[in-house]
Amino acid sequence: MSTDQDMYAAPGETSQGRVFTVTGQDWDSITQSIGESADERVVVNMGPQHPSTHGVLRLILELEGETVTEARCGIGYLHTGIEKNMEYRSWVQGVTFCTRMDYLSPFYNEATYVLGVERLLDIEDDIPEKAQVMRVLLMELNRLSSHLVAIATGGMEIGALTVMTIGFRERELVLDLFELITGLRMNHAFIRPGGVAQDLPPGALDEIRDFIALMKKRLPEYAALCNANPIFKGRLEGVGHLDLAGCMALGLTGPVLRSTGYAWDLRKTQPYCGYEDYDFEVQTWDTADSYGRFRIRLNEMWESLKIVEQCADRLAGLEGAPVMVGDKKIAWPSQLAIGSDGMGNSLDHIRHIMGESMEALIHHFKLVTEGFRVPAGQAYVPIESPRGELGAHVVSDGGTRPFRAHFRDPSFTNLQATSVMSEGGMVADVIVAIASIDPVMGGVDR
Amino acid sequence: MTDKPDEKAAGKAADESDDKTDANESARPSEERNLEAAKDETGTGSAVEQPAPEQSPENVPAPTGEVRAVGARHGMFGVSGTGDTSGYGGLVSATVFPAPSQKPYGGWFDEVAGALEARLEATDLTAAVESVVVHRGEITFHVRREDLPFVAQMLRDDEALRFEFCSGVSGVHYPDDTGRELHAVYHLTSMTHNRRIRLEVAAPDSDPHVPSLVSVYPTLDWHERETYDMFGLVFDGHPALTRVLMPDDWPGHPQRKDYPLGGIPVEYKGGSIPPPDQRRSYN
């Protein structure tokens, strides 16, 4: 459809020039009418609803023929005010909010926030070993599922549908593990200030071991399918190039930074949650392009699998160990059990507070409704999420609620590289470049 | 921590003086004895009649030095005008943030602070860093806002500092910190030295301007736009300071503490759920 008026232009916005609305199967009429005019310059508005823009990302591309001369991002379509909402909930409830930000890596959102709160509470050294191991286990499983989605959607966007189907097939297995351990597939709110919400359910370690064995068979399939595939390489190699200087200036971290050959990984450089005790390698590549980032993600999945294996071994020796800090003024009073329908009640706890101890009941209500107080101050404990440095700037004024919680989300920062990565290239490569950044709009817009 | 030995020492000293009086000077009037005992104790500083007060957390006085008190908290449940006769409604407690630290800061903090100071002295800008706060193993430099670009540039380029990576800027609104209501907090990383520091600048609500750091750290482009969007902090010198998350025509800056919150109407006898800041809550 072609008009001289832009019906989507806001009042006061310029609406000059011809406006085309592409609805599908009408490309012929558009090329025809563009061909009639001498001007080759077209501004294309891509998204926010477009299957290959990774969620509600809007791209404004200025094209000359098929070459992108300018690329700009429009974000904010998924802004939900999570940071503001957290200011009106208790410190523990904050976990429930921030887990929903970057929905592909919920455990990382929880972990960075919780680590900040624990630093302010000054209980960093009191977190039980088992809680730390479980955090690492969940985070590394989460890295697997997140990288699987990155590879799957990245493949789908360039037409490799099989990569998509097998990627989501394996991710589902990880989500099954999450469901078994936390009761939920996504939005877990499982990592809590002081530890984790509950102990491993019976049989979880066996399931994890089965999963590791299966993944060791399945991961080589990705390599066999993609690594030397000429079409795959042709689409990815040399696309979305960004060197180390560019990464530093634009603040890019994660696989994009490591694809320049710089081995910066917070798990190694500034370990948290006991990462210094695990044996794994930081994966780098030296091509600084989309293909390198794909290979890094693939290799990182192997490393994550190694860490998960070590976690499983350590957890086998930690049966019955506490998963919550000993301080009863901070620790969540009950240990909920997972029933067949998800997270259920703790019958023992209910019997205790309702039938045995008035003080326990008072204590329960004080902690659950009022929450604990966190000493005034600010903390920032960044962690290495699948997309790069994820950090929560947590500010407390000494109350029972966060005074301010700001999340430095790697997707938000990395997406700034869209222009540098895609300007001067072909329009089809914009998709590949963005897929190699792997932005999650829930994290970008928060 | 240190109070227990004190108490013990005081108790012990009191026992000793009692022993003395029993053995030799039982004839003297008790008032005199006590006076002398008190005199003996002047060295340790705790009087016999008044044992050291119990030092549980609620009895410990505020830390000495300059304390950054920001506002006060009233009552316990965030409501007023109810028939609460418990007395908790009258509770007033100050919001006290960690006080500025004195040298030495410990570890590599001194190296960074020293290098920064030396460079600032060389350029006659010693007042650029207003205070340094070390809290929970993190160091914060409070920087005068007009000197921010210079300090940041130096932190990035100086060989001893090399904070080449900026994680972003986060705004914080302290409505009761008169004259310094809006804070911009920057987290810098030195990948060369594997260190992290925090810069903090403050601007008053009446003049919400902070110099932009996009020329030093291009990554701050969107971060500064977000902080402007959410707090109304204007970053002077930003190439295109527009909203980034909220719609362009949005009125107000949502993450400021004075931004009005909406309630939720419920379909029951015209009732509505009040906005979160007006609900009954602990504070």
The ipTM assigned to this model is: 0.85
Kindly tell me the sign of the dihedral angle through the C-alpha atoms of A274, A277, A280, A286.
Answer: positive
Can you say whether the dihedral through the CA atoms of A331, A390, A445, B245 is positive or negative?
positive
Which pLDDT score is estimated for B48? 47
According to DSSP, the residues that pair with B185 across neighbouring strands are B170, B200
- What pLDDT was estimated at residue B186? 94
Residue B40: predicted pLDDT:
44
Prior bond of B276 cis (ω within 30°): no
More confident residue, A339 or A98: A98
Q: Is the pLDDT of residue A226 over 60?
A: yes
Q: How confident is the model at residue A6 (pLDDT cuts 50, 70, 90)?
A: low
Q: What is the pLDDT of residues A192-204, one digit of tens each?
A: 999 998 888 888 9
Q: How many residue contacts between A and B have a Cβ separation below 8 Å?
A: 118
Distance CA B123, CA B117 (A): 10
B235 has which bridge partners?
Answer: B210
Chain B nearest-CA distance from A377, in A, is 6
Of A244-253, A345-354, B11-20, highest mean pLDDT: A244-253
Contact between residue A397 and residue A390 where contact means Cβ atoms under 8 Å apart: no
Contacts of A404 in chain B (CB under 8 A): 170, 172-173, 255
Higher-confidence residue of A184 and A336: namely A184
**What average pLDDT does the segment A180-205 reach?**
89
Cα–Cα distance measured from residue A383 to residue B65, given in angstroms and rounded to the nearest whole number? 34
Whether B24 shows a pLDDT value over 50: the answer reads no
Higher-confidence residue: A1 or B33?
Answer: A1
DSSP lists the bridge partners of residue B202 as: B183
Check residue A112 and give its pLDDT: 94
Rounded average pLDDT over B218-243: 92
Which residues of B fall within a CB distance of 8 Å from A380?
138, 167, 187, 196, 198
pLDDT at B55: 52
Q: Label residue B123 exposed, middle or buried (CB < 10 Å: 0-12, 13-18, 19+).
A: exposed
Closest approach of A79 to chain B, Cα-based (Å): 6
Q: Are A249 and B138 within 8 A, CB to CB?
A: no
Per-residue pLDDT at A35? 66
Q: Which of B138, B166, B194 sits opposite A270 (nearest CB)?
A: B194
Amino acid at A106: P
pLDDT tens for A358-396 read: 988 988 888 888 888 898 899 999 999 999 999 999 999
> Residue B100 carries which side chain, given as an amino acid letter?
P
CB contact under 8 A, A81 and B254: yes
CB–CB contact B164 A248 (8 Å): yes
Q: Which of A362, A222, A225 is nearest to A305 (CA)?
A: A222
Is the CB of A408 less than 8 angstroms away from the CB of B168? yes
pTM of the model: 0.83
Residue in A122, A398, A400 closest to B95 by CB: A398
**Is A380 or B262 the better-scoring residue by pLDDT?**
A380
Q: Say which of A389, A400, A445 has its CB closest to residue B245.
A: A445
Does the pLDDT at position B5 exceed 50? no
Mean pLDDT of A58-79: 88
Give the Cα separation of A412 and A250 in Å (integer). 11
The DSSP bridge pattern shows strands A58-64 and A41-46 to be: antiparallel
- Quick check: A400 contacting B, CB < 8 Å? yes
Q: Which residue has the higher pLDDT, A370 or B143?
A: B143
Give CA–CA dist B30/B33, Å, rounded: 5
If you average pLDDT over residues B115-120, what whole number do you get? 87
Cα–Cα distance for residue pair B147/B166, rounded to 1 Å: 17
Per-residue model confidence (pLDDT) at position B74: 72
What is the C-alpha to C-alpha distance for residues A113 and A100, in angstroms, rounded to an integer?
A: 12
At residue B6 the predicted structure's pLDDT band, cuts being 50, 70 and 90, is very low
Q: What is the pLDDT of residues B167-216, one digit of tens each?
A: 999 999 988 888 888 999 999 999 999 999 999 999 999 999 999 999 99
**Cross-chain residue pair B167–A79, CB shorter than 8 Å:** no
Q: For tokens 């909406």, what's the residue? A: B262
- Exposed / middle / buried, residue A383 (Cβ in 10 Å: 0-12, 13-18, 19+): buried
Given a contact cutoff of 8 angstroms between Cβ atoms, the answer to whether A421 and A435 are in contact is no
**Using a CB-CB distance cutoff of 8 angstroms, which residues of chain A are in contact with residue B222?**
412-413, 415-416
Average pLDDT over residues A336-359: 78
Mark which residues 109-168 of A lie under 8 Å from B by CB.
Answer: 119-120, 122
- Contact call for A10 and B248, based on CB within 8 A: yes
pLDDT band at B23, cuts 50/70/90?
A: very low
Residues of chain A with C-beta less than 8 angstroms from the C-beta of B172? 378, 395, 403-404, 406
Query: For a pLDDT cut of 70, what percent of chain B falls above it?
Result: 69
- Please tell me the predicted confidence (pLDDT) of residue B9: 43
Residue B1 — pLDDT band, cuts 50, 70, 90? very low
Q: From the list B97, B198, B244, which residue is nearest A75 (CB)?
A: B244
| pLDDT above 60: residue B100 | yes
Helix (H) or strand (E) holding A433, with range, is helix A427-437
Interchain CB distance below 8 Å, A76 and B96: no
Question: Is B16's pLDDT higher than 50?
Answer: no
pLDDT score recorded for residue A5? 60
Place of tokens 């316990």: B76
How many Cα neighbours within 13 Å face the side chain of A322? 14
Asked if the model's pLDDT at residue A3 lies above 90, the reply is: no
Q: Of B73, B198, B218, which is closest to A380 when you measure between CB atoms?
A: B198
A404/B170 touch (CB, cutoff 8 Å), yes or no: yes
Alpha carbon of A52: minimum distance to chain B alpha carbons (Å): 21
Closest residue in A to B281 (Cα–Cα): A370
Q: What residues are paired with A380 via a beta bridge?
A: A393
Give the pLDDT score at B41. 42
User: Chain B within 8 Å of A404 (Cβ-Cβ)?
Assistant: yes
Tell me which chain A residues have a C-beta less than 8 angstroms from the C-beta of B157. Answer: none
Average pLDDT value for chain B: 76
The residue of chain B with its CA nearest to that of A76 is B245
> Chain A residues with CB inside 8 Å of B196's CB?
270, 380
Contacts with B, A 263-322, CB within 8 Å: 264, 269-270
Tell me the pLDDT band of B219, cut-offs 50, 70 and 90: very high
Q: Which residues does chain A have within 8 Å of residue B70's beta carbon, measured at their own beta carbons?
A: 397
pLDDT at B39: 43
Q: Is the pLDDT of residue B11 over 60?
A: no
Banded pLDDT at B263 (limits 50, 70, 90)? confident
The two tokens of residue B178 are 């008169």
